Amino acid sequence: MFLNVKYMMVSFVMLCLVPSVAFSEVTIVDFHETYDDKVPISGLISVGAMVDVDNSFFDPQFITIKMPETQSAKLCISITSNDGRYRAQYEYDVKNQKSGALTLPTNTKKSSELKNYKDKQVVILATLNKTCKDSPDKVLFASWKKTIAGNSNKYYVYLNWANNVSIVISNNPNVDVAVCKKITDKSIAYNNECLLDNKYMGEINFAVNRFTAANAKLQLIPLPLVLQ
């Protein structure tokens, strides 16, 4: 009896030492990542949507997604470093997901390559789609932190476009809903950081307004952000 009590006490202590990171019941379908020694030239219009960004070093072993309630969908995640060297793609099957923070392991094998990057230098794009080859139905906000503060009020979108960009509401394109500024530290994969005004919480009909060199409006690109 004494041995059983001792065993129970040891087991209880071990459980208390396990980090309290809750993993949702999602199924990973596909994952691959690359890190190039040479800096590539990017021609992509890369996008990231991040929350709780504070320009600090981060643990690349976990990502947290602000999920809406979801019955069934593909969770598609793209991760890109600002210098274009690191890229990763994830695909998950998600079913019966409740609204809230979803923390997932990344399974990265590139932790040593990422150790000198800060969270603003490696951005996450998380989307919900029918398939990961489709245009996103919803763009979700993500963080490198294991927990996202409930009162988070800084939502960033990262874009790659040589000229001016703005983020607007689709049916009212004359009103900017974000302050966008150029990134000047030789960023290759994305060069605009846009801070959204959180008074638009709950709105999903956003669009990116891109400008030509002559500063004439080029087109509105749908950006179905889930700001929650």
Q: What is the mean pLDDT of each run of 10 residues along the chain (228 residues)?
A: 38 34 62 69 68 92 92 90 91 88 90 95 93 88 86 84 83 83 85 86 79 67 85
Q: What is the pLDDT of residue 118?
A: 95
Q: What is the pLDDT of residue 88?
A: 93
Amino acid at 143: S
Q: What is the pLDDT of residue 7?
A: 34
Q: What is the pLDDT of residue 21?
A: 40
Predicted confidence (pLDDT) per residue in 43-93, tens digit: 446 689 999 899 999 999 999 999 998 888 899 999 999 988 999 999 998
Q: What is the pLDDT of residue 87?
A: 92
Domain boundaries, the chain: 22-223
Angstrom distance (rounded) from CA 119 to CA 108? 16
Beta strand segments in the chain, E:
27-35, 47-51, 62-67, 70-81, 86-97, 100-105, 122-129, 138-140, 142-143, 155-159, 165-169, 172-176, 178-182, 192-196, 206-211, 217-223
Q: What is the pLDDT of residue 6?
A: 39
Q: What is the pLDDT of residue 36?
A: 73
Angstrom distance (rounded) from CA 65 to CA 68? 9
Q: What is the pLDDT of residue 9?
A: 33
Amino acid at 147: T
